[in-house]
Amino acid sequence: MKRSRICLVGALAAAAALAPATAQAATERVYLQFNLAGNTQHGGDTGVADAVANSVEDRKPSVVTLNEVCGSQYTRLTQRLADEGYHSAAGATGPTCDNGTKYGNAIFVHNSVREYADYRLPKTSDQSEPRRMLCVAATEGKSMACVTHLSKGEFKEERKKQVEFVAGKAQEFEAAGYRVIIGGDFNTEPRADIIDPMFASCYRPNGSGKLYEAASERCGRRAGEATTDHGGTDGAGKIDYLFFSGEYRALSADAVPVGVSDHHLLWAKASR
């Protein structure tokens, strides 16, 4: 089995499964987005990777998008998930974890990966780390899955440019005939105007893009459960997303607090 070998980031010490198994309909697939807080909360410790691996083994998501992963954690995840049929890529974003391994985004796909690209996002004022968008094309079916992590809250104008870049790439992929899935920590709540380019125009408030987000009713009000420990409801504290192109239907999402990160597991379901 072939896996991409790009270093990443990570952390933790809790190897319990993070969510219960649920039955899937024949055409329904499961997806997962999660910010591990691999360094800030775990210093690169691999316990959090074991916890994520347990949950992935339990529910078998088609795509797993991860942020703030240390290289040590990525290595553990690839070891744990290889026999489950997952192929992966990781992209470092600059900082180094406390244990000396690199840190960044990762993606796992329950499919063979044909190629990947790691795009640098626009960045001017946020000096904490470079921001990137990591994408992989699957060999079975023409699909493109991506993960990204945008600049922090105070850098609104910078984040706006990053959203525009991510949305633009999604439209490029669709124009090339790919189905598209984008997961990540956007550091932006769903009704903020700077995230408009990610949402289709039928949403309220109107989006200016072509994608559909799992946590909001299709073409309904942009909302969703909080995805961080400090958030509220109806979109307050929702900063993690799973976006899908129009071929995916019956979208739904569940944000699950897990205690191993200040972010929640964002589980999504979609049919095609």
Tally Cβ neighbours within 10 Å of residue 166: 26
Give 111-164 pLDDT, tens digit per residue. 888 889 999 999 878 777 899 999 999 887 799 999 999 998 889 999 999 999
CB 130 within 8 A of CB 95: no
Domains in the chain (CATH in brackets) are 28-271 (3.60.10.10)
Give 71-86 pLDDT, tens digit per residue. 999 999 999 999 999 9
How much is the pLDDT for 176? 95
Which neighbouring-strand residues pair with 88? 108
CB 213 within 8 A of CB 222: yes
Q: Which residue has the higher pLDDT, 95 or 175?
A: 175
How much is the pLDDT for 272? 86
Tally Cβ neighbours within 10 Å of residue 39: 23
CB 43 within 8 A of CB 97: yes
Q: In what side-by-side order are the strands of the sheet with 87-96?
A: 87-96, 102-109, 63-70, 28-35, 265-271, 249-256
Q: Is the pLDDT of residue 25 over 50?
A: no
- Give the relative orientation of helices 71-81 and 47-59 as an angle to the nearest 10 degrees: 30
Give 180-221 pLDDT, tens digit per residue. 999 999 999 999 999 999 999 999 999 999 999 999 999 999
Tokens of 212: 């559909």
